[in-house]
Amino acid sequence: MNIKKHTRYFSLFFGMLLTIHFSYAQDSTQKKFQISGYVTDMQIVAFKNADSMLATNLIHNRLNLQWTPNEQISFHGGIRNRIFFGNPMIGLPGFGNQIGMYNDRNLLDLSKSWVNKPSLIINTTIDRLYADWAKGRWDISIGRQRINWGKTLVWNPNDWFNTFNYADFDYIERPGSDAARIQYFPTGMSVIDVAVSPGRYKNQTVAAVRYGFNKWNYDFQILGGLYRDDIALGLGWGGNIGSVGFRGEGSWFQPKENLFDASGSVGATISFDYRSSNTWYVQGAVLYNSIKDKVTDPDVLIYEFMSNLSAKRMMPTSWSFFTEASRDITPLWHVDFSAMTGIQPVLLFLMPNMSYSLTENFDISAYAQIFIGSKNGETQNLGNGIYMRFKYSF
């Protein structure tokens, strides 16, 4: 497959969409083409102690494009343009080639680092590029899209197509997959959902069917299919116990070459969340992962936590716990504190943050990320990050 040739075709496609946008711009009643997005400037300081501080800056531009030529057909695109300059992460070998590969099993490589220097990286990544046809009870989409089958809010063992990482707070749209998807809605409360995402290599294909339905005021789903090298089955639900949200999901993965032995694994999570009338929001979750090849090196553990998660292994620990509390101090001020704790091996991740809306389209936010773990038999601080972000949306 000629990847460069396909990339040129996609660039031409977006150029055509922009041309269509400007051709309709003079007629406000058309609204067949829509463009939105944001620009952010984020200062990042990473350190383990006072003698190891490194700083970088990230300028991030997001473009969301949609063309709707008629009531049944729509085309969607999403582009991330990022400029890194400075030197904590970009000192890592190959970082400029990796930053666009959130889902590197995708059929097409739609990420390009235009500049890839030790102190400057300029990258463009296309993470949405699909066509959608919807009529009556049918909805068919093809291309790079997000297929969100997760029910819970932090860990998603049912999210077989495009797993996301909770710690990656700057990527609110989350990854997409190169896939074909057919949805049929037998009733207003049920769906049969079939999706196929061919991988770049033989052992990276995901193909599955989902049946979703409502019973006892709960939304349930049953999943089955192929997840890379495994045959997979899944179950999920979402509903309420009184005023408390109650959600859960789990998946079982069995190597397709060893269908009848005990080499399978299970990932499962349940969560509760509650929003009070005085703007408090709290949630808690627990995750179990039965995979036995656990990481013991703390530095490798952080790498696995930040960049090497999948639906089969949502955390590099056997048991994981999550808690979050947030509140709107005023209509403009928002504060949040979340924590993850892993057991076997031990890992503690803390992420406090606050945000302030300066205007309707402009806000400022600050985040901290703190890693604590066991090293050489002692509990130690393994690394920290401080992030200050300015964001303008349009």
Over residues 209-238, the pLDDT tens digits come to 999 999 999 999 999 999 999 999 999 999
Q: Name the least confident of 29-33, 111-115, 271-275.
A: 29-33
Domain that holds residue 63: 3-24+32-393
Answer for the pair 189, 213: CB distance below 8 angstroms, yes or no.
yes
For residues 288 and 266, is the Cβ–Cβ distance under 8 A?
A: yes
Determine phi and psi for 64, rounding to 5 degrees. -110, 125
What local confidence, expressed as pLDDT, does residue 387 receive? 97
Question: Distances in Å between the alpha carbon of 252 and those of 193, 288, 346?
Answer: 19, 12, 24
pLDDT for res 96:
58
Residue 154 binned pLDDT confidence (cut-offs 50, 70, 90): very high
Q: Binning pLDDT at 50, 70 and 90, where does residue 95 land?
A: low
pLDDT band at 3 (very low <50, low <70, confident <90, very high): very low
Smallest CA-to-CA distance from 158 within 99, 232, 101 is with 232
Q: Are 42 and 389 in contact (CB under 8 A)?
A: yes
Q: Which of 46-50, 187-191, 206-210 has the lowest average pLDDT?
A: 46-50
Q: Which residue has the higher pLDDT, 50 or 126?
A: 126
Average pLDDT over residues 246-273: 93
Q: Tell which wins on pLDDT, 382 or 36.
A: 36
Q: Give, rounded to a whole angstrom, the gap between the first and last alpha carbons of the chain.
A: 37
Environment class of residue 1 by beta-carbon count within 10 Å: exposed (0-12), middle (13-18) or buried (19+)?
exposed
Could you give the CA distance from residue 81 to residue 171 in angstroms, rounded to a whole number?
A: 12
Question: DSSP label at 219?
Answer: E
Q: How many CA atoms lie within 13 A of 315 on its CB side?
A: 30
The two three-digit tokens of residue 355, written as one number: 């945000």
Residue 15 has pLDDT above 90, yes or no: no
pLDDT band at 13 (very low <50, low <70, confident <90, very high): very low
Q: Report residue 322's pLDDT band, with 50, 70 and 90 as the boundaries.
A: very high
Token reading at 334: 């928002």
Binned at pLDDT 50, 70 and 90, residue 200 comes out as confident
Q: What is the pLDDT of residues 57-82, one digit of tens each?
A: 999 999 999 999 999 999 999 999 99
Q: What local confidence, expressed as pLDDT, does residue 91 receive?
A: 47
Q: Which residues contact 357 (CB under 8 A, 6 or more apart)?
A: 331, 332, 363
d(CA 244, CA 54) in angstroms, rounded, equals 42
332 residue type, one letter: L
- Residues near 63 by beta carbon (within 8 Å), at least 6 away in sequence: 35, 36, 37, 77, 78, 79, 81
Rounded Cα gap, residues 143 and 128, in angstroms: 8
d(CA 196, CA 207): 4
Written in H, E and C, the secondary structure of 157-182 is CCCCCCCCCCCCCCCCCCCCEEEEEE
The one-character DSSP state at 110 is -
**Does 292 or 284 have the greater pLDDT score?**
284
Query: Burial of 314 by CB count in 10 Å (0-12 exposed, 13-18 middle, 19+ buried)?
Result: buried
- Find all residues with CB under 8 Å of 381, minimum gap 6, and list them: 48, 49, 370, 371, 372
- pLDDT value for 100: 58
Distance CA 265, CA 159 (A): 16
- What pTM value is reported for the model? 0.85
CATH number of the domain to which 243 belongs: 2.40.160.10
* pLDDT of the residue at 201: 82
Q: At 338, list the tokens.
A: 């979340």
Task: Tell me, rounded to whole angstroms, the distance of Cα 56 from its chain centroid.
Answer: 23
Residue 202 has pLDDT above 90, yes or no: no
The answer to whether the bond into 345 is cis (omega within 30° of 0) is yes
DSSP helix/strand/coil, 344: coil
Taking residue 281's Cβ as centre, other Cβ atoms within 10 Å add up to 15
Distance CA 123, CA 100 (A): 7
pLDDT digits (tens, 9 = 90+) for 352-362: 999 999 999 99
Mean pLDDT of 325-331: 94
State yes or no: pLDDT of 94 exceeds 70. no
List the helix and strand counts (H, then E) for the chain: 3, 19
The mean of the pLDDT values for the chain is: 87
Number of domains in the chain: 1
Is residue 28 within 8 A of residue 36, CB to CB? The reply is no
